[in-house]
Chain A
Amino acid sequence: MQTEHKLKNPNGRVSEDQLTAKLIPPEIEPHLGEPPLICGETREDYEALFTQLVLKVEPKDIIEWIWVKDVLDLIWEAKRLRNLKAALLRSETYKSSERILGDVIEGLIEDADYYSSKKIARQLAIGWTEKNTQKTQDLKGLLAKAGHDINTVTSDALTKKLYDIERIERMIASCDKRRDDVLREIERSRENLAKRIKEQAQQLIEDIEVEPTPSPRTETS
């Protein structure tokens, strides 16, 4: 297997040389499949993770390369699902804040109609997600007047999306389990190989014939 790589920098970061170096043997590369990237994911990040994994595991044959690529893709997918879960919650939290605030404003302000309440609520919700200090304070103040706080908003969001969040978490758990299964296969196969080598070496040692030492009487005669 031809590998060309340099040692990591002392700070532990993977160098650019490693990223661009051809770690995968050319006869194996076509069989490993394309990186499973979606919008917002970069090839550089994917290959950096791949490089780190390869340097740690040091695959010896095509089967181990397939396993390592599989582990990489499972780690990548789990990370993506976690991001998806976070984005889903963020999005629903925004919707919940707009909805709850809209009702609060309509209730608090005299002569406030539905549309103007919604407009104010939307502006405050956007301000909160953009971490605008003033708008966040206004939002919290309005919620407090109605006996609510930020937790009301976040728990409303979670309740609305609980079913989807649970399903995403099950998928994450499935990725993690498959990753662990594959790592166990790598370990198991290497243990078995080491055991076979040891047994064969032992057999060789037993098979070696020891040459008889000539007796002293024979030499002197």
Chain B
Amino acid sequence: MTSEIHALSNKHNARRSTGPKTSAGKQKAKMNSLKHGLAMAIIKGSPADMEIKKLAGAIVGNNPVNLEALIYAREAAEAEFLIQRARSTRTSFLKAYDIKRDGVDQTQEPPKGSQYWPKDIEEVINDIIFLDRYERRARSRRKKAFRKLKEMM
């Protein structure tokens, strides 16, 4: 078992060695969640929150409910919202790739024999893989919540 002194020392060291150090780096890191919006908290009363509330209501439907069911319905609705958001972000990355032709006029066709301009494919794949971890977490939450709700209904 880690001693209290050791634990405090670990905490202190972790603060020193992780995360951005310069103010520019910290400013950049602050914007990370806004880059694609997937890590942003759902603000109460926002359009996203209203959408999630409606979905949670639809999930519960006409079934007799208790507080527990409402909580799971909200959890499932939020997770589903994030999954849909990840999906539409992924689609928009691919749309941007399709449109962007290495800075060339969009009306110009790629060279004969190719359908895409492959130079930017690495960026697209990187972006899609980056989204994957958000979707994975949301799927796990949705699965658990749906299982609980199905047991209750």
Contact = CB atoms under 8 A, between A and B. Distances in A.
B86 to A, nearest CB: 10
B129 A171 contact: yes
A88 B121 contact: yes
A168 interface: yes
Contacts of A33: 84, 87-88
A167 B129 contact: yes
Contacts of A30: 54
B102 interface: no
Interface residues of A, number: 45
Given A62-B61, A171-B128, A178-B139, A185 B113 contact: no
30 contacts: A28-B58, A31-B58, A33-B87, A33-B88, A38-B94, A38-B95, A39-B98, A39-B99, A40-B98, A63-B76, A63-B146, A63-B149, A66-B80, A70-B83, A84-B116, A84-B121, A91-B115, A92-B118, A93-B113, A94-B111, A94-B112, A126-B112, A126-B113, A129-B113, A161-B118, A164-B122, A171-B129, A185-B143, A185-B146, A193-B150
Interface of A: 27-28, 30-31, 33-34, 36-40, 61-63, 66, 70, 73, 77, 80, 84, 87-88, 90-95, 125-126, 128-130, 161, 164, 167-168, 171, 174, 178, 181, 185, 189, 192-193
